[in-house]
Every structure is written in structure tokens, then in C-alpha cells.
Amino acid sequence: MRLSLPCLFKKQAAAGQADPPEIGPLREGDLYLTLERRMEGDPERGWYPCYRFSMLHAANGALMGRIDLRVGDSPVIERYSGHIGYHVYPAYRGKRRAERAARLLLPLARKLGFEALWITCNPDNTASRITCERLGAVYVETVDLPPGNDMYNRGERRKMRYRLDL
């Protein structure tokens, strides 16, 4: 069973675990992931603990983007932000790096007790929708963001929700 949201990182720290559970090298082709940081979250703001990874180019170490694995279950994560969030910088797009990075994180998600992950994207983000589909995630619905949500405050209005069974 997955640890509850407020105690996840505190229990890891008490057990001497500063990093995510060992899952082996996070590398596929020209892409490798390194743990950039663990973020504790702020549940009052709707932010949840997560692991943030840098997407690096294996040959030269160039930063190609970032990917987060959020480690809680909440209506905000399941409906709006998703368990996985990614951003690939424009110069590195077109090589399925978001999909490949997400696949590299699936063993970690399983070790953390997830049976399914939610991934969301904006309806006009065709590349992200294709990434979700290539991962095997199933489209569930499109929802309106509530006023006051951080994404709403940035000008976003809707999210497409995909469920990825592990």
C-alpha cells in the first residue's frame, strides 16, 4: 500500500532514504534522468510531494527538459495536475523524449505502490496527447479548471485526463 501523502518523505528520511527507491539506471538511448530534487509540497496550495528529474542528453549532458512524478492521490492530482508532468525544451522536441522519460519512471511508480497514474494535458497540446496515447494511457474526459487553481491563474482553462494502468 502506498504511504499517505503527508508522511511519505518524512518516513523516507527516517529510514535513511534521501533518494527514491533504487530502480537502476534511468537511461534510454540519448536520454538519461537524474534526480534534481525532492519537493515536499504544500497541500494547502494543492501542491503535493514529488520527485523532479532533469532530462539530460547522454552524450553531452545538455539539459533537455524536466519530468516530475507526484506521489500523492488527491482530486487535484487526479483531475488537474496529474501524477506525471513533463516539459521538453523546444530544441529537443520531436524525439519522443517525454514518452521515454515517463516510461523510465514507471518502475519507480510501481515501487511506490501505484496501480495507475493520471496524466493531464491541455486540449490544444497535440504532442502531449500523443505522448499519453503512446504510453498506453486511456483518455477519460476533459474537465474545466476551477478559478483560483494555479493553472487557471496562468490562463489555462481545461485539462484532458488520461489514466495509465500499471
pLDDT tens digits along 7-61: 444 444 444 445 567 777 899 999 999 999 888 877 776 678 899 999 999 999 9
Query: Around Cβ 143, how many Cβ atoms within 10 Å?
Result: 13
Range of the domain at 48: 5-17+25-165
Q: Which residue in 136, 137, 141 sits closest to 159, CA to CA?
A: 141
Cell numbers for 108, please give them: 519507480
Q: Give the H/E segment covering residue 130.
A: helix 126-135
How many domains does the chain fold into?
1
Distance CA 102, CA 150 (A): 23
Measure the CA angle with vertex 109, ends 105 and 113; round to 5°: 170
Predicted confidence (pLDDT) per residue in 98-116, tens digit: 999 999 999 999 999 999 9
CATH of the domain at 94: 3.40.630.30
